[in-house]
Amino acid sequence: MTRLPLLALAVAAAAPSYAQTLKGVTLEPAAVKVGENVTIRAGFELGDTPNCAVRIHFGDGAITEAKINQAKDATLAVTHRYARPGQYTIMVEPKRVGA
């Protein structure tokens, strides 16, 4: 099977309306075979009252959303499988809860 080289791009707005700051994004493994799981971990620095959401774009049209509102959410881990070989950009986008 062909290995997929994955390229991670983390985007976060440091605006007062968000109670968290994105510290970084990691991928494991960095290259996968078509149909294998890749785990994307996003680490957050939580403010005093964490309550926001993020949308993760996997670069192949798929997205997932998660709420960041408690200490256990400081490291968010999601898995994804790619159906086709290629290079994909993964983006973590800040969202307001309910938006």
DSSP 3-state assignment of 55? Answer: strand
Q: How confident is the model at residue 98 (pLDDT cuts 50, 70, 90)?
A: low
What is the distance between the alpha carbons of residues 1 and 11, in angstroms, rounded to a whole number?
31
In this model, does residue 14 exceed pLDDT 50? no
pLDDT at position 73:
77
pLDDT at position 97:
65
DSSP 3-state assignment of 71? Answer: helix
pLDDT at position 55:
92
Q: Which of 18, 62, 16 is nearest to 44 (CA)?
A: 18
Q: How confident is the model at residue 28 (pLDDT cuts 50, 70, 90)?
A: very high
pLDDT at position 53:
84
Query: Strands 3-8, 88-95: parallel, antiparallel or unpaired by DSSP?
Result: parallel
Q: Counting every residue, how long is the chain? A: 99
Q: Please tell me the pTM assigned to this model.
A: 0.73
